């Protein structure tokens, strides 16, 4: 549809067409993205009244508030204690063992002293053991006690030992009984470090009520002060673990992009100012670096497109690529800009609605994979500038990676209609990007129990589905703009009510029937080798349209019993009439503005084959006649579809004229005809491989055999019918 206007504009501008197109394209992109990278000067101060509402320009964590909340959570954790009831028994045994030791030591010293007295000479005086000697003897016995118990005894003051060794055995028993009772009573309780002195004092306060001597009371006090110890001990590791769990359970305090930090007319307090400082919004000089980078990126794209367009051999293909790419990229950037406008007041996930796979998919299908790859890369680059000042750095990274991944995978789709490869297209455009979105969420550490995670995934899937639906739904209408052989156009041309087909049916009914048959044969064979089946069918409908000029000079249009008019013509004249149906047909198709490939197949369906019948007749009259004079003007088939049509056209006409066609005769004829075309070089330029030629041969044989086959007589059935008739007549009698 746009081919003619483009051609007219190209003729006017000449060699300046592509440069001017690229410059205009770059200008539109710069204008579209300018407001996204333009920065204005701001200077906010604490206490200042905001002249407009200030929103967060990105999403990030308020680390100071997060740390404060986590510290409060840690402080609120109840310390974990471990109760050790076995300490009561340990302290009981130590006190009891100490008293027993003192009693034994005193007893041993007294016995040794009595022995010395009894052995002393008359008049000799034996001195009594001193307190120091008794204390030393007690401490000497510590050598046989375990180290932990000795450490406990060593904590007792020296005065304790001086007092305890002076007590009698009876007094020591009283001390032992009273001390163990008071000590066990307190040690049965949960004693923490903070309460230790209180529990000791409770026991000490009961000493005066025991009715003992002052020395006994003092010894008991010393024992209680060391015997009552902490048995409910702080579990520092467990407590620290609980505090860390409490900290980790606190969600980060986030400042979300689009969140209002200060409302218009409100004063900027300390908290708001800290947020602005964290966001980098307190002071901005309006840097021009993003703008410069955006302009340079646009210029870079222009040079890349110009350099790549030089690889197209045909100038119109080069222009078509530049225009299609430019229009597609403008559409892509406009959609991103639309989303960015609402991004400032909505969710961060809104940018994921962008159909990142759509433009690369279109360029892949309508141009080639390299064009689709360029679009995937540059639309990601332009997204960096479009969302420059409206999305947090982390989210922007996620969006860019999503766009690039979706765009590159769209290039993997086969270069045919999306609706014809729906399952594979869904896999490349929807399923794989969804898996990638899940991976990105895992990378961010987002929990799948969090609604924000599901919101991100839903938006990502929605964007991928939108790409798929746009690619499927808009492709037929885009074909109307960029190509003359779109599905809608072909469907219209295949309508039997088309003026040319109606004229062909009325003026050359035999040719019409032949064209329909060739269309079925060719379309089926082309479908088998993965070619453009619908286009082939339509081309076959019109490939012999030139025969309407001299319909009666073609045998299929002659009424039954009519004599062939070529019997009255010279071979040279017949040749011109037969050749003429190709040239005339192409002219008619051009007048009706048919798709170029339909016109090409009309030109190419006979290639440069030899018109054998009339060549032989002419040779009989003039031996100097050459084959070149009786060969079709061509050119040879230039596409796979044209090659198949040339074979099917000859096969259908020959088999239709065959007497009693059978499977064997049809197979042999088709094989020989194909071998002849190959040896004659008619399929050299078609691009058909030998494997594809064999597939086509098999398809044609199958289709021809099912259409043209001899009727077989069934004598047995006839005799049975006659027998039934006789039985019926006898019954009527």
Residue 611 · residue 578 · CB < 8 Å: yes
Q: Are strands 260-262 and 60-61 parallel, antiparallel or unpaired?
A: unpaired
245 located within any domain: no
3-class secondary structure, 267 = strand
Is 516 found in the same domain as 393? Answer: no
- Encoded tokens for 532: 């453009």
3-class secondary structure, 255 = strand
Please give the Cα distance from 288 to 129 (Å, whole number): 101
Q: Tokens 């051999």 map to which residue?
A: 313
Please give the Cα distance from 235 to 79 (Å, whole number): 8
Is 640 found in the same domain as 527? Answer: yes
Hey, what's the torsion of the CAs at 691, 610, 639, 550, to 10 degrees? -130
Please give the Cα distance from 359 to 374 (Å, whole number): 10
Q: What is the distance, to the nearest Å, from the Cα of residue 99 to the centroid of all Cα atoms in its chain?
A: 81
Task: Please choose, from the candidates 587, 584, 583, 593, the residue with its C-alpha nearest in 3D space to the C-alpha of residue 485.
Answer: 593
Beta-bridge mates of residue 61: 254
Is 541 found in the same domain as 471? Answer: no
Q: What is the distance, to the nearest Å, from the Cα of residue 146 to the centroid of all Cα atoms in its chain?
A: 70
Which pLDDT belongs to residue 712?
A: 41
3-class secondary structure, 283 = strand
Q: Where are the alpha helices (DSSP H) in 168-288?
A: 169-187, 196-204, 214-227, 236-249, 270-279
Which pLDDT belongs to residue 7?
A: 61
Look at the alpha carbons of 90, 91, 93, 94 in this order and tell me if their dihedral is positive or negative: positive
66 located within any domain: no
Beta-bridge mates of residue 283: 43
Within 10 Å of residue 682's Cβ, how many Cβ atoms?
23
Residue 598 · residue 589 · CB < 8 Å: yes
Could you give the angle at the alpha carbon of 494 between the alpha carbons of 490 and 498, nearest 5°? 115
Is 277 found in the same domain as 295? Answer: no
CATH number, domain containing residue 594:
1.10.3210
Q: Where are the alpha helices (DSSP H) in 38-157?
A: 63-75, 86-119, 131-140, 147-154
Please give the Cα distance from 56 to 18 (Å, whole number): 43
Distances (CA, A) of 13 to 9, 303, 305: 6, 20, 19
Please give the Cα distance from 534 to 598 (Å, whole number): 11
243 located within any domain: no
Please give the Cα distance from 645 to 532 (Å, whole number): 12
Task: Please choose, from the candidates 536, 587, 60, 514, the residue with its C-alpha nearest in 3D space to the C-alpha of residue 276.
Answer: 60
Is 442 found in the same domain as 369? Answer: yes
Please give the Cα distance from 88 to 85 (Å, whole number): 6
Hey, what's the torsion of the CAs at 455, 460, 466, 467, to 10 degrees? 180
292 located within any domain: yes
Residue 139 · residue 184 · CB < 8 Å: no
Show the domain range for 217.
Answer: 81-234
3-class secondary structure, 254 = strand
Which pLDDT belongs to residue 515?
A: 92
The burial of 14, by beta-carbon neighbours within 10 Å (0-12 exposed, 13-18 middle, 19 or more buried), is given as exposed
Within 10 Å of residue 725's Cβ, how many Cβ atoms?
10
Largest distance between two CA atoms of the chain: 185
Burial 16-25 (b: 16+ CB within 10 A, else e): ebbeebbeeb
Please give the Cα distance from 713 to 340 (Å, whole number): 78
Task: Please choose, from the candidates 535, 542, 539, 534, the residue with its C-alpha nearest in 3D space to the C-alpha of residue 500.
Answer: 542
Please give the Cα distance from 129 to 131 (Å, whole number): 7
222 located within any domain: yes
65 located within any domain: no
3-class secondary structure, 485 = coil
Q: Which residues contact 538 (CB under 8 A, 6 or more apart)?
A: 490, 493, 494, 519, 595, 598
Q: Are strands 54-55 and 254-255 parallel, antiparallel or unpaired?
A: unpaired
Within 10 Å of residue 229's Cβ, how many Cβ atoms?
21
Q: Tokens 């409490």 map to which residue?
A: 246
Is 417 found in the same domain as 531? Answer: no
Is 407 found in the same domain as 526? Answer: no
Could you give the angle at the alpha carbon of 594 between the alpha carbons of 10 and 646, nearest 5°? 120
Is 411 found in the same domain as 548? Answer: no
- The angle, 0 to 180 degrees and rounded to 10, between the axes of the packed helices 358-366 and 315-343 is 170
Residue 531 · residue 640 · CB < 8 Å: yes
Please give the Cα distance from 731 to 733 (Å, whole number): 5
Q: What is the distance, to the nearest Å, from the Cα of residue 429 to the centroid of all Cα atoms in its chain?
A: 8
* Counted domains in the chain: 4
- Encoded tokens for 721: 């019918």
Which helix (H) or strand (E) segment holds residue 266: the answer is none
Q: Which residues contact 242 (CB under 8 A, 6 or more apart)?
A: 77, 78, 80
Please give the Cα distance from 250 to 252 (Å, whole number): 6
Please give the Cα distance from 495 to 625 (Å, whole number): 44
Which pLDDT belongs to residue 392?
A: 57
Which pLDDT belongs to residue 733?
A: 41
Please give the Cα distance from 554 to 557 (Å, whole number): 6
Residue 362 · residue 328 · CB < 8 Å: yes
Q: What is the mean pLDDT of each run of 10 residues along the chain (733 residues)?
A: 58 74 86 75 74 69 85 87 88 90 87 80 75 86 84 88 88 91 91 89 90 90 90 86 87 74 80 79 66 89 87 77 87 88 62 86 86 91 81 72 89 79 84 85 68 76 86 76 70 88 90 92 92 91 89 76 74 83 90 88 90 83 84 90 93 84 89 92 92 94 79 44 51 43
Is 509 found in the same domain as 586? Answer: yes
726 located within any domain: no
Look at the alpha carbons of 191, 194, 196, 201 in this order and tell me if their dihedral is positive or negative: negative
Within 10 Å of residue 326's Cβ, how many Cβ atoms?
20
The burial of 159, by beta-carbon neighbours within 10 Å (0-12 exposed, 13-18 middle, 19 or more buried), is given as exposed
Is 577 found in the same domain as 474? Answer: no
Is 514 found in the same domain as 437? Answer: no
Per-position DSSP letters for 286-298, written without gaps between them: --SHHHHHHHHHH
Which pLDDT belongs to residue 676?
A: 92
3-class secondary structure, 61 = strand
Is 618 found in the same domain as 531? Answer: yes
730 located within any domain: no
Hey, what's the torsion of the CAs at 315, 317, 318, 319, to 10 degrees? 90
Cis bond leading into 326, ω under 30°?
no
């Amino acid at each position: 549809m746009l081919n003619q206007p483009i051609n007219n504009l190209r003729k006017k501008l000449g060699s300046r067409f592509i440069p001017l197109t690229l410059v205009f394209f770059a200008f539109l992109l710069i204008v579209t993205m300018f407001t996204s990278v333009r920065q204005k000067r701001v200077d906010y101060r604490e206490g200042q009244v905001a002249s407009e509402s200030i929103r967060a320009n990105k999403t990030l964590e308020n680390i100071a508030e997060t740390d404060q909340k986590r510290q409060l959570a840690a402080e609120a954790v109840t310390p974990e204690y471990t109760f050790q009831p076995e300490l009561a028994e340990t302290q009981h045994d130590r006190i009891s063992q100490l008293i027993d030791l003192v009693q034994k030591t005193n007893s041993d010293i007294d016995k040794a002293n009595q022995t010395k007295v009894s052995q002393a000479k008359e008049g000799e005086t034996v001195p009594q053991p001193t307190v120091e000697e008794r204390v030393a003897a007690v401490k000497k016995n510590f050598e046989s006690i375990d180290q932990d118990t000795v450490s406990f005894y060593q904590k007792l003051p020296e005065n304790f030992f001086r007092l305890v060794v002076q007590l009698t055995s009876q007094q020591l028993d009283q001390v032992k009984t009273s001390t163990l009772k008071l000590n066990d009573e307190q040690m049965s309780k949960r004693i923490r470090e903070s309460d230790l002195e209180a529990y000791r004092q409770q026991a000490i306060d009961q000493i005066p009520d025991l009715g003992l001597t002052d020395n006994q009371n003092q010894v008991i006090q010393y024992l209680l002060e060391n015997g009552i110890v902490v048995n409910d001990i702080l579990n520092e590791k467990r407590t620290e673990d609980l505090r860390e769990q409490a900290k980790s359970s606190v969600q980060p305090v986030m400042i979300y992009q689009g969140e209002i930090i200060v409302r218009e007319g409100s004063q900027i307090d300390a908290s708001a100012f800290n947020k602005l400082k964290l966001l980098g919004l307190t002071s901005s000089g309006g840097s021009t670096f993003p703008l410069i980078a955006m302009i340079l990126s646009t210029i870079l794209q222009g040079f890349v497109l110009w350099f790549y367009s030089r690889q197209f051999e045909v100038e119109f293909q080069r222009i078509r690529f530049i225009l299609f790419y430019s229009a597609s990229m403008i559409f892509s950037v406009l959609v991103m800009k639309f989303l960015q406008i609402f991004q400032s007041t909505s969710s961060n996930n809104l940018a994921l609605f962008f159909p990142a796979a759509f433009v690369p998919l279109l360029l892949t299908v309508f141009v080639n994979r390299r064009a689709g790859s360029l679009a995937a890369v540059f639309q990601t680059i332009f997204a960096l500038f479009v969302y420059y000042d409206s999305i947090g750095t982390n989210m922007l990274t996620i969006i860019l990676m999503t766009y690039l991944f979706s765009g590159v995978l769209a290039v993997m789709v086969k270069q045919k209609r999306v609706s014809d490869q729906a399952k594979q297209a869904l896999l490349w455009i929807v399923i794989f990007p969804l898996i990638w979105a899940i991976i990105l969420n895992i990378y961010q550490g987002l929990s799948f129990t969090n609604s924000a995670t599901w919101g991100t995934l839903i938006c990502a899937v929605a964007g991928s589905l939108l790409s798929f639906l746009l690619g499927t739904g808009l492709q037929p209408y885009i074909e109307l703009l960029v190509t003359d052989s779109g599905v809608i156009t072909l469907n219209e041309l295949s309508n039997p009510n088309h003026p040319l087909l109606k004229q062909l049916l009325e003026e050359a009914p035999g040719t019409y029937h032949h064209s329909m048959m060739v269309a079925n044969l060719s379309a089926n064979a082309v479908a088998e080798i993965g070619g453009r089946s619908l286009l082939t069918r339509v081309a076959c409908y019109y490939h012999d349209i030139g025969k309407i000029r001299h319909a009666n000079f073609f045998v299929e249009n002659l009424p039954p019993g009519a004599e062939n008019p070529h019997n009255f013509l010279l071979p040279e004249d017949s040749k011109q009439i037969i050749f003429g149906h190709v040239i005339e047909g192409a002219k008619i198709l051009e007048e009706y503005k048919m798709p170029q490939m339909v016109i090409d197949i009309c030109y190419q369906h006979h290639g440069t084959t030899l018109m054998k019948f009339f060549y032989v007749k002419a040779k009989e009259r003039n031996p100097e006649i050459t084959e070149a004079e009786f060969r079709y003007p061509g050119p040879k088939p230039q596409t796979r579809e044209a090659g198949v049509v040339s074979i099917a056209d000859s096969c259908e006409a020959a088999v239709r004229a065959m007497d009693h066609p059978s499977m064997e005769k049809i197979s042999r004829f088709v094989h020989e005809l194909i071998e002849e075309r190959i040896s004659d070089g008619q399929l050299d330029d078609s691009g058909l491989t030998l494997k594809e030629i064999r597939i086509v041969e098999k398809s044609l044989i199958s289709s021809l055999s099912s259409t043209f086959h001899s009727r077989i007589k069934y004598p047995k059935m006839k005799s049975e019918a006659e027998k039934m008739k006789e039985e019926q007549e006898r019954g009527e009698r």
